[in-house]
Structure 1
């Protein structure tokens, strides 16, 4: 935790020499932290698999202090890895230089999400602490993907990253029951990522199209145009017209609906309910998040 706080403090410095020093720190720390994270996630998954088959989960978990410590260390390593990639390199939206760690980390993070998600449903009625861990872990992992896409959008443009992540999030939004992802926080982050990708100005194709010139090195703007063209092509495949229509229907029919509790609060105090709805940030609740995503889709796919 001391290391994380120190890195976070150093990341706020804006002088060129400080940023250069931070890049050097990233070079020294990333491999060790990332390898430790990967090792811990395998240990955690093995233990969760073992515990899911036991009837005496409480006693086994209480006796295993190591697992709780490993889980805490794993989450801390995740925060450090995210911080190193975020602050250790200038945003590739300015440099158009790929940050290789994004393509290294994001597919592994997505795989970890897919592996951990079922345990939320598995432990929901069996063990509150393990259920809460699966819930927090999946939400934090998705937030890492959102953060890295926003910071390094061009490095995110890869079949194993952009296509796979957006496709996964769309499946979660349209059919969360298949993986038991009924908890609101994860669905919100899935919507946030899709919205972020669709709004990303770096992914808007240039009228000039992709630039190919084998004789001369590409300029900064030419590299950006090439990335944008690739991203645009990927999104066209992932978000076909039929899928856009399906997504809009589900957003309206499933996520826009007021719950019984909402209607009760509205009936009891309409004015207070109205003000509370206006004060809620769109990233905090499922319905306003779905509404924000729907608006972006409607504006981007008017012709569908």
Structure 2
């Protein structure tokens, strides 16, 4: 198993269970951190694991492989009794009109605020070969499933009752021909516009004010290009000042997991290598599924390494 699988699995569980959903970061003691690191079952994230293996197929938008992965993701979350919405739509592409489906899974759809974790589940189309896209983004999708399965029994007891966890799996992130404003991020562009124009009454706001669905997002954390193991060459920087506090918490948790040897399932002789680059900030960001939400004012934490992994968009 590549180290980043377990890294992000542990970090997300630790961060979300006792910090993000309570709206204020609370320092975890060593005992709590150790317990949280045992919640996941690492085998689920192996190449033959129950959560990753079904995703390791070509899944270009509009194909049967894409539909199979969509159904797998939705079924796993329905098994947990999460509210699952399939956001179906069509859009024009350079290869003709295509059907897309975003998957939105919400632990408690009746509360007004959401902490959103997102990844894209489609893979890129190549005429010359079949592209699997393990890091891009099968592994991030598997990580989100593992997080949901690991934390589900404990989310109901979160002291922050007006905030829930929501997972979004975007379809159509990849360009069919050449990345552009109209040939990429089909699913996220559609969903951001849809949520911007969908209004609900918020009982938690003064005079039960109506507001759109975007305003209920406290933070959107987008995962992409994870799982390659290129820790010496690729690091995750902090892209946005508005979520520096959250990035800093992730980096601190990573250091503590190393300090207390809590990366379960990894080789005993694994060399310590941090993944989060706390030296400075990457200005400008990277074009990805977060952008349609960012330009509409949603706070974003983008978890994507730079430079991109060496196997990005290759047959490997």
TM-score (normalised: structure 1): 0.22
Higher relative CO (CA 8 A, sep ≥ 6), structure 1 or 2? 2
Over alpha carbons, which structure has the higher Rg? 1
Larger strand proportion of the pair: 2
Larger helix proportion of the pair: 1
